[in-house]
Amino acid sequence: MMKLKPQRNPVAFLISFLCACMVVTSCYYSTSQGSRAGDIRNIVIPLFDNTTVETGIQETLTDEVIERFLTNGEFRIVDLRQADAAIIGVITDLQEESVAFSEGTLAREVRLWIVVDVRFETVDKKEVVWEERQLRTYGDYAIDTGTETDREPAIETAIEKMAEEILNQSISGW
């Protein structure tokens, strides 16, 4: 008894062949971020300076910036001897402005701005890769108790936004 070969559908074969050709010849697209820093891979982030009267904020901001870079992974955080570049920052101002009021013009909600001068520069030649003066981010808080505990979440939010902005400036390709 003779076995019949299954018939191949020429349309299905042609469609499969064309799809394979399109995949092979298609342009390469990448969503990875290109570094503005070129060959820089190892960075140091020294403690930010603080010219405000707000104590302890420089440690918190520096730690948050380091954490963002570690999480991102594009750069290795190293000490100064091994670094190709450094992120140098100065907290220049902490400003508060009322954004919501209750009866009698009493402030009910406050916007807290943190202002930083920051630059990303090579360690050996001190060439500036990028620099931003008066970089500003904010956090809002409601005046509930009238104590420092009202402000703490706003400071944390402003610091988180600042760290994210510094990371974005450092890894952006444009």
Does any domain span residue 96?
yes
pLDDT tens-digit series, residues 45-90:
999 999 999 999 999 999 999 999 999 999 999 999 999 999 999 9
- Percent of the chain topping pLDDT 90: 61
User: Residue 46's Cα: distance from chain center in Å?
Assistant: 17
Whether the predicted pLDDT of 172 surpasses 90: no
pLDDT of residue 174: 43
- Its pTM stands at 0.73
Asked whether residue 30 carries a pLDDT value surpassing 50, the answer given is no
19 occurs within a structural domain: no
- Which structural domain range is residue 85 located in? 35-171
Domain count, the chain: 1
**Residue 28 in domain:** no
Domain membership flag for residue 18: no
pLDDT on residue 14: 52
- In the predicted model, is pLDDT for residue 95 greater than 70? yes
Asked whether residue 109 is assigned to any structural domain, the reply reads: yes
At 31-43, the pLDDT tens digits run 334 445 568 999 9
Question: What are the pLDDT digits (tens) for 114-165?
Answer: 999 999 999 999 999 999 999 999 999 887 656 667 889 999 999 999 999 9
